[in-house]
Amino acid sequence: MEDYPRPAIPLHPVLSRKSLSLFTMDAARTPSILDNKNIALVTSGRVAIAMALRELGIKKGDIVLIPAYHCSSMVEPVLWAEAIPVFFSINSDTIVNIEDITNKITPDVKAILVTHYFGFHQPMLQIQQLCKKNNIALIEDCAHSFFGIIDNQPVGSFGDYSIASSMKFFPIYDGGCLVSSTRPLDSSGLRPSGVRFNIKSLLNTLEQAFEYNRLNILIPFLYWPLKLKDWSWSLVKKIFLHKKITIGPGSSEGGYSFDPSWIDKEISAPSRFFMCISNKQRIATERRKNYQYIYKQLSAINGARPLYNTLPENVVPYVIPVIFDNPEKIFPILKNQGVPILRFGETLWEGVTENVCNTSIRLSRQLFQFPCHQELSQSDIDWMVNTIKETLETYH
């Protein structure tokens, strides 16, 4: 795998003064998955999926329906539960194919995972009715959709259980949640994630902010603690050269791996604190504004086009997904220039072919996702957009 340079602008939200309600007004109520009655704050969305499967009593041999367009962290919790993943197709607009789901329902199907891709909503009332009719549990996957309203209800309120990935929307190191509007959750049963992990969470959150010139006023006070952290970690890795040493889950390090040891561990205290005092109205407003600006800039260029034609009123986007005509050529050029790119579903599970879902194969190859989060400055966005445009003009 090619070693690309660090993104020139932040791929995910980083902590800044503007992030926090302590410094900015956050009076307006912002509907979110946290509006559910029962909530457990854990370290990642993939852990929340595993916990949902356990709460539903999914056992060996049960079938769980999963979208053909997915990442491995959606599949591995199903395998951990010793259940069988069966993949259903999606349409070109990423809406689930209800007919294909219906055709794949058998007596062994016990649950279905439905994903709001990139923050854009699925027809949840229709899916909910289908599940009730066939006595199938519904897991609403809001990993890309922490905020928003569907049919006058907050996202995450349709599933028997719903999950989200807090770290995609907040400037935090770790975080996910498992919620339910109808079923109890005993969050008191969660275990502490450990002192070392909490320290790592705080230092990594601050380090990310400093890397992108946020909260620079704190650097003189934290310079030596961060240097000590780097030195001690380097020493530990040298001593245990042949051992894999981790303090945090793979989800916080940018990977898709699933580690069952993080099940039932609560979110780190720093991440909980920063979530609590984050300006949620600003998150929703800035993401929508940034998305619409980037969309306007990229909607009339040769060689690429945004996946969606409109941004519905009640959608708070995770990223802006863009289809490229020549992705293999353009991807390394953009990455080497420091353009931040995500590629959800780049590697699909074995057995997901064009016969299963042609749209999933196409999106896995051609779709790049660019950030539109609230911590991007206007100069960040202009640089990213102009770099994409210039690259396409030169190489398309």
Series of mean pLDDT values for 10-residue runs along the chain (396 residues) = 88 92 62 94 96 96 98 96 98 98 98 98 98 98 97 96 97 96 81 90 89 75 59 56 59 73 94 94 96 96 95 97 97 97 95 96 98 97 98 90
Using the Cα atoms of residue 57, residue 61, residue 67 and residue 69 in order, give the sign of their dihedral: positive
Cβ proximity of 120 and 317 under 8 Å: yes
pLDDT attached to residue 339: 98
- Residue 390 CA from chain centroid, whole number: 29
pLDDT attached to residue 236: 47
Cβ proximity of 329 and 354 under 8 Å: no
Q: Which of 371, 367, 232 is nearest to 307 (CA)?
A: 367
- Residue 118 CA from chain centroid, whole number: 8
Residues with Cβ within 8 Å of 129's Cβ and at least 6 positions away in sequence, in order, are: none
Q: In order of start, what are the domains of the chain with their CATH numbers?
A: 30-189 (3.40.640.10), 280-395 (3.90.1150.10)
pLDDT attached to residue 395: 86
CA distance 323 to 256: 22
In our burial notation (b when 16+ CB lie closer than 10 A, e otherwise), range 359-371 reads bbbebbebbbbbb
Whole-model pTM: value is: 0.91
